[in-house]
Structure 1
Amino acid sequence: MRIAARKDMAMDGLSDTGTKVRALPVSGALRPYVRALMATEIACSGPLPMAVAPHESIMLSVNLGRAAASIEQKGAHGHNTSLTGIREWTGAFNGAGNCVTLFALLTPLGVVQLLDSQPLDRVPRIRAPVAGLLDQRVTRRLESGIALAPTLEARLLTFASWLEERATAARKLDRTALRAGRAAMRLCQQPRLPIETLADEQAVSRRQLERDFGRWIGTSPRHLAQVARLQAVSRRAQAHGASLADIAADVGFADQSHMSRVVRQLTGLTPQRFVRARQSPLAQTFRQATGGGTVYL
């Protein structure tokens, strides 16, 4: 069944502050390209303090208002769709509220496929306008479709349909971009894999692989591996309730102290505070949709 035809919205959340959250299970043609699909509607006005942890996905988001003129309430038509790369550390920000936002967590291969293998080395890491990467008619059509959908569920299905259409469209992609995407996918799955081994698998030198990552993924293999291990800590803690010492060994840190240093470097938190951070409805739904990962704190 095509994902756009699914009607089973999973992992709903609603807070007493008027935050409505929906997640759509990722299936079919989108599986290699998208980790999670989410939508949230926030009725109250900001500022809404939030924090985003480093995670191994590149976030594609569409942010519209809730008013009748929602399509231009937050920005010019076609400029409400943005891309946030793999973060270097946890970032804090104050959301404005009174909005509808849709999120797609793209895999490294997904950002290559869905964005026509656009280089990311000169793209701002935080909220880069997608209209600067693709023809603006593409983002205008997406935003119009979402704005015209009558419910949050319908908007999420519209977003999923757009993603699936781009995932399955025949297009010529850059060979080195695909190579970087495949290598990054492998590293996300096995963050303990030595970079030299990864380079050998792609038949390139380590230095060339690092250049490919910087150009097409927007980060280095080493940083992506660290972020993937950070998220593995979160998933192991949520799924198994194991001790931090056991998690450190399972994930591939030299010891618990090594894990603590890396978690502090990336998040500013101890491992215990990181895995037990107080969760908003949006954060809880992201955690469920990503198998225990931490996106929002």
Structure 2
Amino acid sequence: MLTGVLSKEADEPVAERESKLSFRDYRGEVRAHSHGHHQFVLPLRGALELEARGRGGFVDDLRGALVPSGDLHAFIGHRSARCAILDVPEAGSDLLNAAAQGRGDPFFSLDPALFHLLRFVEARGMNDGGIEGLLLATALESIAAGQGKTEPRQLRRAITFMEAQSHKPLTVADIAQAAALSESRLYDLFRTWIGAGPQAHLTAIRIRRARAALTGTNLPIAQIAQDSGFSDQTAFTRAFRRLTGTTPAAYRKGRESETGVSI
């Protein structure tokens, strides 16, 4: 996924003394850094692909991320990604410190109320002080609400099957059967826990596989499309552009121009 870039870019451990809210746009280029403060990455539009604490995923829809102070993380924007970034100093909250250091998974489900609050704050230009405390408290409530919830075993079984068999022409029925679920129940689990349907998640898995092949091999793009589970190169290019904002050929060319950096 984004792992290869983590050792390539400089660390940026700049400590912050007070909480700061900002709104940032992310483009289709991989970056990596760390910083001397905790950071909430909260979705507004598009999707930000993020790898932190050894886990990869997306900040989009109703899914946010908490990146602990000092954690080296990599990220790339998709679909004109725009996020609200809340930087919080380590000394700012014992509760936050515990949440940041105690979580193996940086991602958490966002309370819809927090999402709407973020959109309101952005629209009204209210990030000039005073709002950070409310956002921090609401974000911590989102994390607390999700603690103790374990990803259902059937969902994990479905995802494991998809990752192992993504090179094959899978249907939703195939995935549901492998997880011993009905198709409707499979959809419910994916919408609740992943925030996208099983086919959308399968496409994301295939694109991650293809990106690794584009940067790590010299295989023809048509072969990569086939090996990644796409019916043909046209379908592959269409899906790749939709998720990354560029074509496979342009993506490979762009990564080749960066000395040794692979995703």
Q: TM-score, normalised by structure 1?
A: 0.47
Q: Please name the residue that 2:53 is paired with.
A: 104
Q: Give, in angstroms, the shift of residue 104 of structure 1.
A: 2.5
1:210 corresponds, among 187, 212, 218, to 187
Q: Give, in angstroms, the shift of residue 269 of structure 1.
A: 1.0
The answer to whether 1:199 aligns with 2:176 is yes
Separation (CA, whole Å) in 1 of partners of 2:85 and 2:197: 19
Kindly indicate whether the alpha-carbon contact (under 8 Å) linking 1:199 and 1:209 is maintained by their aligned counterparts in 2: yes
The residue matched to 2:254 in structure 1 has which SS? Answer: coil
Q: Please name the residue that 2:229 is paired with.
A: 252
Q: Give, in angstroms, the shift of residue 227 of structure 1.
A: 1.0
1:82 corresponds, among 40, 47, 53, to 40
Pick closer, same or farther for the CA change 1:262–1:88 going to 2, 3 Å: farther
1:233 corresponds, among 184, 193, 210, to 210
Identical counterparts, % of pairs: 19
1:41 corresponds, among 12, 25, 34, to 12
The answer to whether 1:140 aligns with 2:102 is no
Pick closer, same or farther for the CA change 1:209–1:225 going to 2, 3 Å: same
Q: Please name the residue that 2:8 is paired with.
A: 13
Kindly indicate whether the alpha-carbon contact (under 8 Å) linking 2:213 and 2:224 is maintained by their aligned counterparts in 1: yes
Kindly indicate whether the alpha-carbon contact (under 8 Å) linking 1:121 and 1:216 is maintained by their aligned counterparts in 2: no
Kindly indicate whether the alpha-carbon contact (under 8 Å) linking 1:199 and 1:205 is maintained by their aligned counterparts in 2: yes
Q: Please name the residue that 1:185 is paired with.
A: 160
The residue matched to 1:12 in structure 2 has which SS? Answer: coil
Separation (CA, whole Å) in 1 of partners of 2:25 and 2:195: 27
- Runs of 5+ consecutive residues of structure 1 not aligned to the other structure: 1-9, 15-19, 21-39, 55-60, 66-70, 72-79, 93-100, 112-119, 144-158, 165-170, 288-293
Pick closer, same or farther for the CA change 1:236–1:12 going to 2, 3 Å: closer
Q: Deviations over 1:57-94 (max 9, x none)?
A: xxxx99744xxxxx4xxxxxxxx343678x996659xx
1:221 corresponds, among 186, 195, 198, to 198
In the comparison of the two structures, how many residue pairs are matched?
184
Kindly indicate whether the alpha-carbon contact (under 8 Å) linking 1:229 and 1:251 is maintained by their aligned counterparts in 2: yes
Q: Aligned partner of 2:214: which letter?
A: A
Q: Please name the residue that 2:104 is paired with.
A: 163
Kindly indicate whether the alpha-carbon contact (under 8 Å) linking 2:215 and 2:255 is maintained by their aligned counterparts in 1: no
Pick closer, same or farther for the CA change 1:172–1:204 going to 2, 3 Å: same
- Runs of 5+ consecutive residues of structure 2 not aligned to the other structure: 15-22, 66-82, 106-146
Q: Aligned partner of 2:27: which letter?
A: A
1:263 corresponds, among 226, 240, 248, to 240
Pick closer, same or farther for the CA change 1:181–1:62 going to 2, 3 Å: farther
Separation (CA, whole Å) in 2 of partners of 1:203 and 1:180: 10
Q: TM-score, normalised by structure 2?
A: 0.52
Q: Give, in angstroms, the shift of residue 224 of structure 1.
A: 0.9
Q: Give, in angstroms, the shift of residue 141 of structure 1.
A: 2.9
The residue matched to 1:254 in structure 2 has which SS? Answer: coil
Q: Aligned partner of 1:237: which letter?
A: L
CA RMSD of aligned residues (A): 4.8
The residue matched to 1:197 in structure 2 has which SS? Answer: helix
Pick closer, same or farther for the CA change 1:139–1:63 going to 2, 3 Å: farther
Q: Give, in angstroms, the shift of residue 202 of structure 1.
A: 1.9
